Chain A
Amino acid sequence: MTMASVSKTFSNGTAALTDVSLTVRAGEFVSLLGPSGCGKSTALRIMAGLGGVSSGNIDWPASRITSSGRPDGDISFVFQEPTLLPWRTVAENVYLPLQLQGISRKAAQPRIEEALSTVFLADFAKAYPRELSGGMKMRVSIARALATRPKLLLMDEPFAALDEITRQKLNDEVLELWKSNGLAVVFVTHSVFESAYLSSRIVVMKARPGRIHEDFPVNVGIERDADFRTSESYRLTCERVSHSLGAAMGGEGH
């Protein structure tokens, strides 16, 4: 996925992004970090091919492009809100993207089960979204994104509503998926620690207008396991990210 000097101005005049260039290669885990309102969600939506750009280019070289100019079935998105369909059960919600690809319910069943057990919700397949807690809804949303086995997974603060333990578990789960499937992940977060733990590369953004402040690789060649959270290199990464974020926020007033 390549963005070349993309700008986006909304119809009300808000310049959400100016001159943003970013290339995400296969197998990368990129975290997008930045102050609220700096255009992280907007950037992510553009990467997914949702909503046009005001100027610049976006391309998905590794994907088949459909007639509508969008990559075909290789991108999944976990939105900031769960965006489940309230009239469908959990399993039917996870089935939705497969259904839209024309896969029969029967053929999809194993994938639905697999996706649901990945987020520890196998027992809730027949529940309706209203019967779930906020965190569980978010996990269904993640399961739905995984069901299509995407090459690029875009996540917009997916774990913001979760408790620390579940969050940790899902962080490890996402890492596991990332390592085993070789998929690329772009992950928006507010948490320095989360980004330092997960990423292979961190992009710090600046607000007003939204632009890239710094873009650097982290944790290269380091195994993320239980020890990693207490290791010196993790601490150094956190520090590095915090500094960069501080600089990005501090520069706002000028």
Chain B
Amino acid sequence: MENGERSEQLDRLIRIAIPVGVVLALLLVWYLIVHVENIPPYILPDPIAVAGALVKDWPTLWPAFLVTTKITFMSLGLALLGGTVFAVLLVQARWLELIFYPIAVVLQVTPIVAIAPLILIYAPTTQAALLICAYLVAFFPILSNLVQGLKSVDHNHLNLFELYGANRFQTLWHLKLPTALPYFMTGLKIGGGLSLIAAVVAEFSAGSSGAGSGLAFRILEAQFRLNIPRLFAALIMLSVLGIAIFALTSFLSWLLLHRWHESSLKREN
């Protein structure tokens, strides 16, 4: 018993220690390369210079971080809402699916970021344009995964619900949505990552300055000014944001699925 507990603690320690160790080792390698090769800081700053820039430029970077975070999460939230409502409608009526399927395919196979310049022209403000871009990119994985999930319902389960006289809403709520939940979570994870990418790429193509600009613009700006430490600092903040989104969606997925779905179960045999 005690043995099992100890090995579990050890297991947890290893799970934390190894990733942390890998990151530290990479930082060390980075530091050594810069100093052994004598690379000037305007080409590749060492980690300490980047940390310095992070602290020094915090007053500019932090608001930019908030702007990017806000756009990413707002677009993801809207995509979640829109994707869910739309997916449910699509599977409720076959003719709706027939109408929207070609449109959905065209929009899905077109790299949305390529129409960012167009959106920038039509949207009232740059912020709105960024939001639309990120929304469109996150929307489709959520929609298509959820539609797939809603259609993957076991026929025996459908028979069961029909036998007991379930109405459409009951079948949707008690059967189709729970069946689709793992698919929805996959869509959410993909959509979360993509919405950040889209927010950044759209801002690159917008290239606008001012108080309301996000991290992507700060990166462009730092590049123009050859302020490479700040560029790296902004990059790090973007990856932190990406990691946070990934962790959040993974946690949500675990929370909702761990008690019953195969993907979240610990294998014990």
Instruction: Name A residues whose Cβ lies closer than 8 Å to a Cβ of B.
Output: 45, 48-50, 66, 68, 70, 72-73, 75-77, 79, 81, 83, 85-87, 96-97, 99-101, 128-130, 148
Contact = CB atoms under 8 A, between A and B. Distances in A.
Contacts of A86: 260-261
B224 interface: no
A50 B159 contact: yes
B265 to A, nearest CB: 7
B260 A83 contact: no
A83 B161 contact: no
Nearest to A128: B260
A85 B166 CA distance: 15
The 8 A-B residue pairs whose C-beta atoms are closest, nearest first, are A83-B156, A97-B164, A100-B164, A87-B260, A100-B166, A87-B178, A86-B260, A50-B159
B165 A70 contact: yes
B154, B159, B163 pick with most chain A CB within 10 angstroms? B163
B162 A85 contact: no
Contact of A128 (B157, B174, B175, B259): B259
A130 B165 contact: no
Contacts, number: 57
A76 B163 CA distance: 8
A66 B265 contact: no
Nearest to A148: B164
Contact of B156 (A68, A81, A87, A101): A81
B163 A85 contact: no
Contact of B174 (A66, A76, A77, A96): A96
Given A50-B159, A99-B174, 18 more contacts: A68-B165, A72-B165, A76-B163, A77-B160, A77-B163, A79-B160, A81-B156, A83-B154, A83-B157, A85-B174, A86-B260, A87-B259, A87-B261, A96-B164, A96-B174, A97-B164, A100-B174, A128-B259
B170 interface: yes
A110 to B, nearest CB: 19
A81 B160 CA distance: 11
Interface in B204-244: none
B182 to A, nearest CB: 10
B156 to A, nearest CB: 4
Given A97-B164, A100-B170, A148-B164, A85 B157 contact: yes
